[in-house]
Amino acid sequence: MTQLTLLPELPDSPSHLGVVYLMTDGYLLKWGYTGRSLPGGLRQRSGELRAQIIGFEPGSRDDEEKRKGHVSRWCVGGEWFRLPDDPAALYWLQLIAQGMGGWGGRTASELLARVIVANLRRAA
């Protein structure tokens, strides 16, 4: 009988558990993934210096890709997307934010609401 030996997952494997986060520049949103633990482990890239983290949750690269798939039709380039204009997609996004850890002493729901308000003001 052959014994199966399981190898540890490599940090870059799609199923490696890290953190999936949602960030904003005030109007646009972006899903991201880091293998580092939060809150101190997230290092923003130079192109994201004006961005703010909305919330985060445990997850993998696969989870990040699933999140991106839900909002792909609102993609504006790269990983950034517009606020969904479909009520069902916007509701889904709000539900996800409710389950996330907040940032900077604010809940993810509150931070997402600020993005929604900013977009409504811009459209008015």
Per-10-residue mean pLDDT of the chain, 124 residues long, equals 41 71 96 77 54 93 95 94 95 95 91 96 89
Q: Are the C-beta atoms of residues 56 and 65 closer than 8 Å to each other?
A: no
- Residue 17's pLDDT is 87
List the end-to-end C-alpha distance of the chain, in Å, as a whole number: 71
- Predicted local distance difference test score (pLDDT) of residue 113: 96
Give backbone dihedrals phi and psi of 53, rounded to 5 degrees, phi first: -75, 135
CA 44 to chain centre: 13
The Cα–Cα gap between 70 and 85 comes to 13
Q: What are phi and psi of 16, to 5 degrees?
A: -65, 130
pLDDT of residue 38: 59
pLDDT of residue 47: 52
- pLDDT at position 13, please? 56
- Predicted model pTM: 0.79
